[in-house]
Amino acid sequence: MGRTRWGLMVALAALPACGSGGTPAAGNATDFADYPTLVGRFAEEADLSQLIAREAFIGADEFYVSYDTPAGPVYAGGNWSDRIDILAVEQDTSGTYSGPYILPLDYQQPERWTEIPDRPIRPRQLRVEQWHRFRESFFDSVLPEDGKAGVVMHFDSDDYFLYHNEIGNFEARLLIDKPADYTIVEQFSFADLIGMGVPQLAVFLEGEGIAERRVVFNTGDAGRYSLPFLYVDLDLPIAVFVRHAESPREGAVSGAGTQIAQSVGHVAHSHLGSLAVRPVSSIYRLLFVAADAAVETVRPTWLVNLESQPVPPINEGPGMDLDEWEKELDRITNREATLGTIDYLIDGEEYFTRLTDAISSARELVYIRTYIFDNDDVAERIGTLLKRRSNEGVDVKVLLDGLGTIMATGAEGETMPEDYVPPASVRQSLERGSNVDVRQARNPWGAGDHVKTTIIDNAVAFTGGMNIGREYRYEWHDLMVEVGGPVVEVLRQEFDDAWAHAGFMGDVGYFFHKITPHGHRTGEGGYPVRVLFTRTGNAEIFRAQLAAIRNAQRYIYVQNAYLTDDAMLYELARARKRGVDVRVILPLAGNHGPVNQSNILAANAMLEHGIRVFLYPGMSHVKAAVFDGWACFGSANWDKLSFRVNKELNLATSYAPMVDELIERLFDKDFAESVELTEPFPARWSDHLVEIVADYML
């Protein structure tokens, strides 16, 4: 469902604070009849009337607001003290704004409150017309003057597109509702807008003859999930929006029993069903996994023969010959590099803003392949956009890894909005009321499709480490890239192959797809960009990076959360023993307990052999490495699953400007923000047992 909120912007201040109030000046219908308001667009809603406060005040822990409805007055409110640490806000002298704050109406009742706090704060109430005038003047100073352009504001869990429409009026829409023919020229955080808006609000109130420093705007926002009231305290300053209730969810909601049943059913179908529909690929994968496990089991202890070798100084000479290295890669992969362009999208704000923009502007197709399509609020927002675009005639396909998605949707997110109710089935949620075509990749013998790619109109593509979910947007450090040019065709072909194999015809459908000629128009030009894969029986990403470590002469930078492959650790230690500057970034707190314990032993071993180990403050999901000017990044972890079992896709390039940008924007920045390990971690006997499990199972 599309949602447009006029009430949002400019939270230029506020929430419950302390102090004296002013005389209420509640608006009425005649006050704002000439100021039309865009209401929330919800097809199922019958009542889109504005909520205009009759009375509003604040107690020590609760806020109170009453308003009229066609059925009579409503008395509503909720708790603010359990969501906002007002003391911390008052004591903060850094000038950093801690909002935005959004308080839900916890209750709405026809009876007047039975208990009203003594000496409540009664802020001055301002009319919808006043809100509109201030909002217009402020955003006239923020928005670009050129037509068909706007800015994005990141507000709490929502991203908004702000712009002037074709007749010059200001509009604010959720980013997923951005007009397709408008471009994004800049992004702001809510704190940025606060800094710009507070002085203008003070001037506005003075011009209105309002001396009070605490005010409540009636915004005129209407409908479910609207923001009809904004409380502002200019002295703190902080801003608090009051939110109307959400619409109830359609369909089944998530529960532990549902996830268990889905997991059991999917695993059974992945093995028994795949033997019937995908017999060739299933049996081949089983034989490969069994043979690989046997090889892993007899591998000797990996660092014994390096313990007696001293750690030399860092080499000062030249790095490896990149022209010769690219020829070596041609031999390793049996193909030449493709042309293309790369734009790095570091962290969720950059990626999800650009992804949403690209999907909302798509004219022909949106093809998504992802390991996890979660059922949290961020994933549902992307799903809502995909559903709308599919109903507007865009060809939308979503290929998700069955087990990866089911397991992720069964996990409880710590930062999930407390009033959010997730759907039980991602697939059913995407397909309900839309033309989105969804397929699930099966997981025979534990193998997953760990690739993350999105194709837009065969013109641009996105790939890297991020799935569709809240942690990737708000919580984790991660890397995606946007690519253009002929390399997009390679990613499109990979999607088509995986899509055909996941269909009901399985191996037969895949066979006929492969023998059918294909060709899609893509962009031209660029610089060499190489696509690397992990496929059953072809550990291409592993072999390429292993060879890069052996060829490196000056430096190797690695960032990966899942560094459990012994062969790679051994080669990194060997590289350091021949004078290469080897640096590895690990997350301080990973998201898998066994991997965390295995990383402790890996970090200690690397430190012992002269490798510099950096601990990133938080969870880094980045999967990138640079070897003497050759960069490799994508979906593959440095573990057995990514190197030998799962389907993976990485990009690589020796194009100096892009390698330098990756070092500057990612590695240099993360080295500076991380803590370098100088003493080994305390290791327990159980860590060694877990390390064995991590080596073979993760």
| pLDDT at position 676 over 80 | yes
Q: Is the per-residue pLDDT at 652 higher than 50?
A: yes
* Residue 624 scores a pLDDT above 80: yes
Confidence of residue 141 (pLDDT cuts 50, 70, 90): confident
32 and 257 Cβ atoms separated by less than 8 Å: no
Give ranges for CATH 3.30.870.10 in the chain. Answer: 257-297+341-521, 530-697
pLDDT at position 31, please? 36
Q: Is the pLDDT of residue 18 over 70?
A: no
Residues 6+ apart with CB under 8 A from 287: none
pLDDT in tens, 340-386: 999 999 999 999 999 999 999 999 999 999 999 999 999 999 999 99
Cβ contacts of residue 119 below 8 Å, gap of 6+?
Answer: none
257-297+341-521, which class in CATH?
Answer: alpha beta
Give the sheet arrangement for strand 158-164, strand by strand: 170-174, 158-164, 149-155, 183-189
In CATH terms, the fold of domain 530-697 is Endonuclease; Chain A (3.30.870)
User: Is pLDDT of 280 > 70?
Assistant: no
- Indicate the range of 24-28, 503-507, 509-513 predicted with least confidence: 24-28
Three-class DSSP category at 318: coil
The pLDDT assigned to 246 comes to 56
Residue 264: the pLDDT is 46
Confidence of residue 588 (pLDDT cuts 50, 70, 90): confident
The mean pLDDT value for 567-585 works out to 95
User: What value does the mean pLDDT of the chain take?
Assistant: 81
What does the pLDDT read at residue 267? 45
DSSP code per residue over 370-388:
ES-B--SHHHHHHHHHHHH
For 397-410, what is each residue's pLDDT tens digit? 999 987 787 777 76
More confident residue, 27 or 367: 367
Task: Work out whether strand 581-587 and strand 555-559 pair parallel, antiparallel, or are unpaired.
Answer: parallel
Output the pLDDT for position 515. Answer: 61
What local confidence, expressed as pLDDT, does residue 508 receive?
59
- pLDDT for position 38: 33
What pLDDT was estimated at residue 234? Answer: 86
CA distances from 494 to 306, 402, 515, 648 (A): 41, 18, 14, 11
Give me the percent of the chain exceeding a pLDDT of 70: 76
In this predicted model, which residue has the larger pLDDT, 566 or 614?
614
pTM: 0.79
Query: What single-letter DSSP state applies at residue 344?
Result: E
Q: Is the pLDDT of residue 11 over 80?
A: no
Answer for the pair 352, 159: CB distance below 8 angstroms, yes or no: yes
| Predicted local distance difference test score (pLDDT) of residue 2 | 33
pLDDT above 70: residue 193? yes
Task: Name the pLDDT band for 509 (thresholds 50, 70, 90).
Answer: low
Over residues 98-134, the pLDDT tens digits come to 666 888 888 999 999 998 998 999 999 999 999 999 9
- Specify the range with the lowest mean pLDDT, choosing from 121-130, 448-457, 507-516: 507-516
Q: What is the pLDDT of residue 507?
A: 57
> Which residue would you say has higher pLDDT here, 287 or 677?
677
Query: Among 224-233, 573-582, 631-640, which is the least confidently predicted range?
Result: 224-233
Residue 100: asked if its preceding bond is cis (omega within 30°), the reply is yes
3-class SS string, 95-155:
CCCCCCEEEECCEEECCCCCCCCCCCECCEEECHHHHHHHHHHHHHHHCCCCCCEEEEEEE
Return the pLDDT at 283.
55
Q: How confident is the model at residue 564, as a pLDDT?
A: 83
Mean pLDDT of 651-673: 98
List CB contacts of 111: < 8 A, sequence separation 6 or more.
75
Rounded Cα distance between 465 and 453, Å, is 9
